[in-house]
């Protein structure tokens, strides 16, 4: 899954021959899962039509401050419609100007505002990327060098030009980067700025099933949703995530999350220990069985007696075993409690050598297994406690990752 998924991308198109590549760029953004709107300079419509771009982006294309609306009852009535450049700038998560001609770049650098694209640029609060497109001598000109330097000083990000045959017939620098290269550049730039870039995070999720016989097991009601949300939240911050999950219907499309499926507590213990030495953060949110049948029948147990006794034995305490061997890892546990919640959670935090424990109580409506919400309290090894209101599990996961980052950088 691309880091651009669900991003609002505003594509600015200026009057260069490379505008024909903009159609492919829109399609690649859409393929990456982004939402795309297009804003054009009036002259750029000589190179590519708004109809093409609106069809590909599935959104209206903006090329002037005012559009004529002929939807009135009388066909000779014209109702002007204002295209709000401020709203466009606020909508965008990223503003990508490709192609960016020497003319438009000079105007951007000097605050000239004579079309809707430039007005939107001056209003935008999001990161701005631009892909220059011009002839060799224009690109080499001292005024262009000054323009590019000035734009970079505004924290605008220049996508490097390509080298090759130009529209004039000259060969050299000045070609707009290919659409695939523009996408790759933006994705890499975003990823490189993420706070967990280069870090490895281990997450456990779901229940474990402890076999009684070939068809029956002891388990619990954990859906695994909380763990999957944590894995996605960590991946969205740039981490490489190892998600070890018990039986669940949950799925993720995030390419930065590697999933390892297990069934029993013993299998989860072994898989966790296979990865623990190489990871930076461990978040154990799985609802691992505390006990398992001491003897597992090789054949299906028949119903014949009025009562049936199962002898259970303790499973290995995965979280405690990691607390005993951790070196530089930041270790997080979960505590689902029904009474003496804070006292019990603090006891687990200390006994298992954790850096943070996430407490949620079955006494809280909307918390616990199966649902899409949770109400948690973060308890740190320092003794600090942060009690959160009822939130979606997605938001709880994001809050947890931010709390971990805060402690790592304290």
pLDDT tens for residues 113-122?
999 999 999 9
Fold agreement (8-192, 200-408): yes
Indicate whether 79 pLDDT > 70. Answer: no
Residue 153 has pLDDT above 70, yes or no: yes
Report in angstroms the alpha-carbon separations of 34 from 5, 8, 86: 5, 6, 20
Contact between 383 and 332 (Cβ < 8 Å)? no
Boundaries of every domain in the chain = 8-192, 200-408
Structure confidence by residue, pLDDT tens digits, 314-341? 999 999 999 999 999 999 999 987 788 8
> What is the per-residue pLDDT for 187?
94
Lowest mean pLDDT among 129-138, 175-184, 363-372, 384-393: 363-372
How confident is the model over 359-374, as a mean pLDDT? 73
138, 144 contact by CB (below 8 A): yes
pTM score: 0.80
Q: Which of 8, 83, 84, 220 is catalytic?
A: 220
For residues 238 and 194, the answer to whether their CB atoms sit within 8 Å is yes
Whether 339 is a known active-site residue: answer no
Q: How far is CA 61 from CA 25, 180, 374, in A?
A: 15, 22, 41
Q: How many helices (H) and strands (E) does the chain have?
A: 13, 24
- Alpha-carbon span 266 to 250, nearest angstrom: 21
Q: For domain 200-408, give the CATH number.
A: 3.40.50.10300
Under a CB-based contact definition with an 8 Å cutoff, are residues 54 and 30 in contact? no
* Cα(256)–Cα(234) distance, integer angstroms: 9
Q: Is the pLDDT of residue 50 over 70?
A: yes
**Nearest partner of 42 among 111, 101, 109, judged by Cα:** 101
User: Of 384, 379, 383, nearest to 333 (Cα)?
Assistant: 379
Q: Does domain 8-192 have CATH number 3.40.640.10?
A: no
**CA distance linking residue 52 with residue 24, whole number of Å:** 11
Most confident among 82-86, 92-96, 188-192 (mean pLDDT): 92-96
């Amino acid at each position: 899954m691309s880091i651009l998924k669900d991003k609002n991308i505003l594509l600015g198109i200026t009057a260069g021959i490379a505008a024909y590549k903009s159609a492919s760029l829109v399609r690649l953004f859409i393929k990456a899962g982004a939402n795309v709107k297009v804003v054009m300079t009036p002259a750029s419509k000589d190179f590519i039509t708004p109809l093409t771009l609106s069809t590909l982006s599935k959104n209206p294309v903006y090329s002037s401050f005012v559009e004529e609306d002929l939807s009135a009852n009388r066909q000779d009535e014209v109702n002007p419609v204002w295209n709000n450049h401020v709203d466009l700038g606020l909508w965008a998560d990223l503003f990508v100007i490709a192609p960016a001609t020497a003319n438009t770049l000079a105007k951007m650098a000097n605050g000239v505002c004579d079309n809707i694209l430039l007005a939107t640029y001056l209003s935008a609060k999001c990161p701005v990327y631009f892909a220059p497109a011009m002839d060799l001598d224009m690109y080499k000109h001292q005024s262009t060098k000054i323009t590019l330097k000035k734009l970079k000083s505004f924290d605008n990000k220049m996508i490097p030009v390509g080298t090759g045959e130009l529209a004039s017939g000259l060969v050299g620098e000045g070609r707009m980067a290919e659409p695939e290269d523009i996408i790759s550049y933006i994705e890499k730039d975003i990823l490189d700025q993420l706070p967990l870039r280069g870090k490895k995070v281990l997450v456990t999720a779901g229940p474990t099933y402890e076999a009684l016989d070939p068809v029956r097991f002891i388990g619990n009601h954990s859906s695994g949703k909380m763990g999957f949300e944590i894995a996605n939240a960590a991946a969205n911050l740039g981490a490489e995530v190892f998600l070890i999950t018990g039986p669940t219907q949950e799925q993720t499309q995030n390419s930065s999350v590697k999933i390892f499926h297990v069934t029993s507590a013993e299998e989860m213990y072994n898989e966790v220990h296979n990865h623990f030495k190489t990871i930076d953060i461990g978040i154990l949110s799985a609802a691992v069985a505390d006990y398992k049948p001491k003897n597992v029948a090789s054949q299906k147990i028949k119903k014949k007696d009025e009562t049936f006794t199962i002898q259970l034995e303790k499973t290995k305490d995965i979280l405690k075993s990691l607390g005993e061997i951790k070196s530089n890892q930041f270790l997080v546990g979960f505590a689902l409690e029904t009474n003496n919640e804070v006292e019990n959670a603090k006891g687990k935090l200390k006994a298992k050598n954790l850096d943070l424990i996430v407490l949620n109580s079955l006494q809280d409506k909307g918390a616990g297994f199966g649902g899409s919400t949770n109400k948690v309290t973060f308890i740190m090894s320092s003794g600090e406690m942060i009690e959160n209101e009822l939130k979606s599990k997605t938001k709880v996961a994001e809050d947890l990752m931010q709390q971990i980052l805060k402690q790592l950088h304290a």
